[in-house]
């Protein structure tokens, strides 16, 4: 869509600025920026959708996504 293209363009421009081929090979630099954005964006979004699906399925089934007392790394114990 048109509205999501502008933030995407900004992210790709920032990635391009941080990659080493900006001056010497701009086409390669842009391709790498788009590839990195796509791979990480798709991976993050896929994992987020899976986590949301597991959480919703657990709510409907009455089964917690994590066993009671489980510790989630980097997030601490569940509430």
User: Which is more confident, 2 or 49?
Assistant: 49
Collapse the DSSP code of 70 into the 3-class scheme (helix H, G, I; strand E, B; otherwise coil) and give the result.
coil
> What would the pLDDT profile of 3-31 be if each residue is shown by its tens digit?
566 678 888 888 888 888 878 888 888 88
Q: What is the pTM of this model?
A: 0.57
Distance CA 25, CA 31 (A): 10
Q: Which residues contact 20 (CB under 8 A, 6 or more apart)?
A: 29
């Amino acid at each position: 869509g048109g509205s999501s293209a502008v933030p995407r363009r900004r992210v790709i421009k920032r990635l391009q600025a941080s990659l080493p081929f900006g001056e010497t090979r701009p086409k390669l630099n842009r391709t790498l920026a788009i590839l990195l954005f796509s791979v990480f964006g798709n991976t993050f979004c896929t994992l987020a959708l899976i986590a949301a699906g597991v959480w919703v399925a657990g709510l409907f089934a009455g089964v917690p996504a994590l066993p009671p007392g489980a510790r989630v790394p980097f997030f601490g114990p569940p509430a």
